[in-house]
Amino acid sequence: MSITSLAFVAFAAVLAAAYYLVPKRFQWVVLLLFSAVFYLMSGPKHGVYILVTALSAYACALWMARVSQGQKAFFQAHKELSREEKGAIRQKNTRRKRLALIAALLLNFGLLSVFKYAHFVLDQINRLLGLFGGFQFDNSFSILVPLGISFYTFQTMGYLIDVYWDKAPPERNFFKLLLFTSFFPQITQGPISGYSQLSCQFLQPHSFSYENFAAGCQRMIWGYFKKLVLADTLAPCVHAVFENYAQYSGPAVLTGVFFYSIQIYADFSGYMDIMCGLCQVLDIRLEENFLRPYFSKSIAEYWRRWHITLGAWFKSYIYYPIAVSKWNTRLGKWARGRFGKTFGQALPASIALVAVWLVTGIWHGASWAYIAWGGVNGLFIIVSLWLEPLYQWGRDKLHLRESSFGWRLFQVARTYLLVCFIKVLPEVGGLRQGLGLWRQVFTGRRLPSFAELFPYGMPLSSLIMVAVATGALLLVSLLQRKGSVRAWFGRAPLPVRAFTLAVLLVLTVYFGVPASGNVGGFLYAQF
């Protein structure tokens, strides 16, 4: 079901009505039923795989809890045990829980790998075999990737790891865990929520609130405006430039790059606004996934503001376990004694960052282009980490105040340009093509024609609308630095709010509906 369709709007309206009409103790059941309907509409066969994920997580979590409870009861019944004997029992039970966890992780990440990476892996194997003129595997089969498998796998496995670490209690009701796994507002593009943050909200009684209803609908309208008016209007132009960048002038290519940065932000954050708004209508708070990312002063800060929950997942379950592992800690101590404090601190962090960005690239797509994209992101962050003492020395020598407006403006502009450079790599096919695109920016110096910048007959009215929508997006982002724009808007007089929402709706219908006919779906749904 398309999120931008009238069918989804009707689906959301029926959900909200049913949610508040049933007894409050059954509200979570309504969410589960509607999530099942939403998911099964993408293909009934896909329901099998999400059930496998939920069932394996449910069984594994209960098994680990049973081992822990058995150990606790055994210690209470045998208080005469020595510390060494208790330690040996704990070690044995930890191994048992670890084996169960590893089995569940292998099963679920194995399914994810088969669906997303089978063709890529077989293609690489065939290339190697081709060097020796040997046997070739058949790679012509088709695999339809289950909806949201990357997101629900990461979210559910995060829950399972938290149970293993005793950070979350095991859910003893399978259907409640299934709701956490399949909750439809976040299944296709996130956010990737923690179990303790989300599950408790499902079980709380929720009463209808006009404030939540109004604020949620307002945010949904803003999300549809960003998606349909801005992202989908820019999409044909961006596609044309990236497909044939060598045929365009330098300014036209640069315009396409800037348009892409606006398109992907409006597309992804628009989805989040729609789904977070719907959840607010239901009195459920999803975690925010964006915090004005294009105002970041470094690549590392940008990734703390863009797709926040994915970054938090990698930080919790990949970065920290590697960074504080015994072997990495020992390596850091050795490097500190051999090469100094700075080297000893940076080396373990760099190793963990390499792992994070390798996985980040692979998660986004099964291609060398995405691996290169992840590698370039990681390279910028790691180089910044290693050169920070040099940067600080330079700032001190030049007497630059980090709080000064000019310096902050330079950092924001520099980071935005670097982000634009990195973003295009997977879109044009990889590092070599990305460098070719940027070479065209600086060598294709002829002045662009209007037709170059706006192909497919984009009318002047659409160009003006893109400028107005981008300006509105920038204004809202600037105001958010000073406080909650939504809180301010909620306090505005009713005529002001009604007029603003009416304008957004009219513009969305007038400009967005034709655009949505040209470009379907959300960009991040492919991941």
Among 487, 463, 484, 479, smallest CA distance to 295 is for: 479
For residue 337, tell me if it sits in a domain.
no
Q: Is residue 472 part of a domain?
A: yes
Contacts of residue 286, Cβ cutoff 8 Å, sequence gap at least 6: 185, 186, 191, 193, 198, 272, 275, 276, 279
163 residue type, one letter: V
Question: What's the pTM?
Answer: 0.88
Q: Residue 151 and residue 316: Cα distance in Å, rounded?
A: 16
Task: Tell whether 199 and 234 lie within a shared domain.
Answer: no
Give the burial class of 104: count Cβ atoms within 10 A of its Cβ; 0-12 exposed, 13-18 middle, 19 or more buried.
Answer: buried
Verify that 67 and 194 share a domain, yes or no: yes
- Judge if 168 and 260 occupy the same domain: no
Both 245 and 269 in one domain: the answer is: yes
Q: Write the DSSP symbol of residue 295.
A: G
Contacts of 31 (CB under 8 A, 6+ apart): 15, 19, 179, 183, 202, 282
Contact 381, 300 (CB under 8 A): yes
Please tell me what DSSP assigns to residue 511: I
Per-state percent for the chain, helix, strand, coil, to nearest 5: 80, 0, 20
Both tokens assigned to 152: 């629900």
Give the per-residue pLDDT at 414. Answer: 93
Q: Which tokens go with 214?
A: 């109004």
pLDDT of residue 129: 81
What CA–CA distance (Å, rounded) separates 416 from 261?
9
Last residue of a domain, one of 190, 205, 220: 205
pLDDT at 12: 94
Question: What would the two tokens of residue 482 be?
Answer: 């000073």
Contact by Cβ (8 Å): 277, 220: yes
Pair 362, 370: CB distance under 8 Å:
yes
Query: Quick one: pLDDT at residue 33?
Result: 96
Q: What's the structural domain count of the chain?
A: 2
> Is the distance from CB of 291 to CB of 255 less than 8 angstroms?
no
Amino acid code (one letter) for 189: Q
Map residue 248 onto helix, strand or coil. coil
Same domain, 523 and 479: yes
- In this prediction, residue 65 carries a pLDDT of 92
Please tell me the total number of residues recorded for the chain in this structure: 527
Residue ending a domain, choose from 154, 177, 205: 205
* Amino acid letter, residue 473: L
**Whole-angstrom distance, CA of residue 513 vs CA of residue 232:** 9
Look at residue 369 and tell me if it is in a domain.
Answer: no
The token pair at 371 is: 């691996």
SS3 196: helix
Burial of 163 (0-12, 13-18, 19+ CB in 10 A): buried
Alpha-carbon distances of 467 from 223, 233, 251, 416, 460, rounded to whole Å = 17, 11, 17, 19, 11
Residues 212 and 160 in one domain: no
170 and 270 part of one domain = no
CA distances to 189, 191, 275, 374, 461 from 116, rounded to whole Å, are: 16, 20, 25, 17, 40
Instruction: Characterize 457-483 residue by residue with b for buried, 16 or more Cβ atoms within 10 angstroms of its Cβ, and e for exposed.
Output: ebeeebeebbeebbebbeeebeeeeee
Whether 199 and 180 have beta carbons less than 8 Å apart is answered as yes
The answer to whether residues 193 and 219 belong to one domain is no
Count Cβ atoms below 10 Å from residue 144 Cβ, excluding itself: 10
Angle (deg, nearest 10), helices 27-40 and 195-203: 120
- Give the residue from 25, 51, 54 showing the smallest Cα distance to 40: 51
In a domain, 19, yes or no: no
In the DSSP assignment, the letter for residue 296 is -
Sign of the Cα pseudo-torsion (201, 205, 210, 213, in order): positive
Digit-coded pLDDT (tens) for 36-65 = 999 988 878 888 999 999 999 999 999 999
15 exposure class (CB count in 10 Å sphere: 0-12, 13-18, 19+): buried
Last-in-domain residue among 181, 205, 229: 205
Q: Would 494 be classed as within a structural domain?
A: yes
Contact 253, 241 (CB under 8 A): yes
Residue 154 lies in a domain: yes
Q: Residue 507's domain spans which residues?
A: 206-286+448-527
Residue 247 lies in a domain: yes
Assess if residue 424 is contained within a domain.
Answer: no
First to last CA, the chain: 17
Is the domain of 41 the same as that of 150?
yes
A 10 A CB-CB count for 131 gives 7
Q: pLDDT 10s per residue in the chain (527 long)? A: 788 888 999 999 999 999 999 999 999 999 999 999 999 888 788 889 999 999 999 999 999 999 988 888 888 888 888 888 888 888 998 899 999 999 999 999 999 999 998 888 888 888 888 877 767 777 777 788 888 899 999 999 999 999 999 888 999 999 999 999 999 999 988 899 999 889 999 999 999 999 899 899 999 999 999 999 899 888 888 888 888 888 888 888 888 899 999 999 999 999 999 999 999 999 999 999 999 999 999 999 999 999 999 999 999 999 999 999 989 889 888 888 888 887 888 888 899 999 999 999 999 888 888 998 999 999 999 998 888 888 778 877 877 787 888 888 999 999 999 999 898 888 887 778 888 888 888 886 666 555 555 554 567 777 888 888 899 888 888 888 777 777 777 777 888 888 888 888 888 887 766 554 554 566 655 55
Contacts of 201 (CB under 8 A, 6+ apart): 284, 285
**Is residue 162 located within the same domain as residue 33?**
yes
Same domain, 87 and 229: no
For residue 313, how many other CB atoms are within 10 A of its CB?
24
Indicate whether 76 and 89 sit together in one domain.
yes
- Angstrom distance (rounded) from CA 270 to CA 272: 5
